[in-house]
Amino acid sequence: MTAYLDHAATTPMLPAALAAMTEQLAVVGNASSLHRTGRASRRAVEESREKIARCLGARPSEVLFTSGGTESDNLAVKGTYWARRDADPARVRLLVSAIEHHAVLDCVDFLVAHEGAKVTWLDSTADGRVEPATVRAAIEADPDSVALVSVMWANNEVGTVQDVAGIAAVAREHGIPFHTDAVQAAGHLPVDFAASGADLLSVTAHKLGGPIGVGALLARRDARLVPLTHGGGQERQVRSGTLDTPAIVGFAAAIVAATESMEAEAVRLAALRDDLIERAMALGAGIRPTGFWEPGDTTHRLPGNVHLLVPGCDGDSLLYLLDAAGVSCSTGSACQAGVPQPSHVLLAMGISESDARGALRLTLGHTSTSADVDAVIDALPAAIERARRAREATAS
């Protein structure tokens, strides 16, 4: 039996989402077609758009469907940069936190390399927070040059939750669009687009119990975006492509179900999280958690996020040894799995390269139980011992 503790990479589909998507898969219809079957598909899409908007505190017209978080981030960052630069050639500076997912970081690198962009990396505290004061100082160094501010809602590796409303208020005060990647937060924390003050917000379905391959960019009606793709202009003339009606229906069913159980589920997962952290620290192996952590807290850290530093080990070795013992986990972002480099998130938080190499991310979700925690604690001592021997052998 496998203990699955990699919900931050993807979480199993919720029964309601699986049932809704399966039913829609049997129905033919292109949502852009004008005949009866097309109109029925369009109705399913728009009803889903309304459900998603309601769960995220947005207007239906602000929900633009995409293929997932990566496309949403690309559209937000590149689309806003191009629109702002075209309107004012001086607007070439991007203010981005150094702990973002690569879906944002690599967009920025592309714009710097090919589109004349400049970037100011926003520092974080030792527990992974980006302070509004840091954003303010970066803006006020040269406010007329800033095209966009982008800071994620909750970190995908260490689970730290940002003061999104505070950062958004600073950006809005200076008339600068603010984007937040809420891929890890949506469905797990209260996410209210209107109340947050953000101009752009990225979400994806498969992190909250929906299908892989569908997500959304929430964009205020006055947000100016240059499209990345061209064709039918299905989504507000900003995003083209035939809409995946079954996936969208599954997305809506998932976020409704996740939202309805969110409060109770956060308490349940935080209890499992805290139990896992405390028992791992008690093993006597020098293990310590990263990011902000306070037992019982469901506000400043994702309820299901456990991120540990295991001294004297390589995270990849631990991952494979735990996998052999029936525990599925991660060393950080799944998009960087297999890359033998320390996490950029941990380095940005001031953690040494040697310590960062021993990182282990274990993330809990709706299928997680105390038996999964037991499985990790049972498997860790032997895995740590073997991983340390392997590092010592490599060093010698």
Alpha-carbon distance 204 to 183, whole Å?
A: 6
Distance CA 54, CA 48 (A): 10
Is the Cβ–Cβ distance between 207 and 10 less than 8 Å?
yes
Q: Nearest CA to 314 among 372, 379, 386, 396?
A: 386
β-bridge pairing 327-328 and 3-4: parallel
Q: What distance in Å separates the CA atoms of residue 311 and residue 366, rounded to the nearest whole number?
A: 30
Is residue 335 annotated as a catalytic residue, yes or no? yes
Q: What is the CA radius of gyration of the chain?
A: 21
Of the residues 55, 107, 329, 335, only one is catalytic, namely 335
Joined together, the tokens standing for residue 320 give 């494979």
The single-letter code of the amino acid at 306 is V
Distant-in-sequence, close-in-space partners of 246: CB < 8 Å, separation ≥ 6? 21, 24, 25, 27, 211
Q: Residue ranges of the alpha helices (H) in 88-207?
A: 102-114, 132-140, 164-173, 193-196
Beta strands of the chain (E only): which ranges?
A: 3-4, 63-66, 93-97, 118-122, 146-150, 178-181, 200-204, 215-219, 288-289, 305-309, 327-328, 359-363
Beta strands across the sheet bearing 288-289: 288-289, 305-309, 359-363
**Of the candidates 95, 218, 208, 99, which has an alpha carbon nearest to the alpha carbon of residue 152?**
99
Spatial separation of the C-alpha atoms in residues 334 and 9, rounded to whole Å: 6
**How far is Cα 383 from Cα 386, in angstroms, rounded to an integer?**
5
Counting every residue written for the chain, the total comes to 396
- Helices 245-281/36-55 angle, 10° precision: 30
Q: What is the residue type of 239?
A: R
- The catalytic residues are 335
